[in-house]
């Protein structure tokens, strides 16, 4: 990695990384080694990837839509007014 990750930034074992364009966390860099790890009776097939130069781009946070409150139209009054 270009800079060591802080403890809170390290992905947990089994984390799935995807594409930043889809809002997912992504690894970007030069791969040094790639080792395929076959499945066993207790684990699924996986891979070990070692980056030579790389950065972890965190997932994009979803924007929260503001609540829109409409004013009543003019001329409409509650009953009894």
Q: What is the pLDDT of residues 19-56, one digit of tens each?
A: 777 878 787 788 788 899 899 999 888 888 787 787 77
Q: What pLDDT score was predicted for residue 76?
A: 59
79 compared with 40, residue with greater pLDDT = 40
Domain map (residue ranges) of the chain: 7-57
pTM for the structure as a whole: 0.41
pLDDT of res. 2: 64
Higher-confidence position of 45 and 62: 45
User: If we measure between CA atoms, which residue out of 29, 21, 16 comes closest to residue 56?
Assistant: 29
Query: Helix or strand or coil: residue 72?
Result: coil
**CB atoms inside a 10 Å sphere around CB 61:** 7
């Amino acid at each position: 990695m270009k800079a060591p990750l802080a403890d809170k930034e390290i992905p947990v074992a089994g984390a799935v990384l995807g594409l930043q364009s889809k809002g997912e966390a992504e690894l970007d860099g030069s791969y040094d080694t790639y080792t395929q790890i076959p499945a066993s009776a207790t684990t699924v097939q996986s891979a070990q990837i070692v980056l030579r130069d790389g950065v972890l781009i965190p997932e994009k946070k979803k924007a929260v839509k503001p609540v829109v409150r409409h004013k009543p139209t003019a001329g409409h009054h509650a009953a009894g007014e």
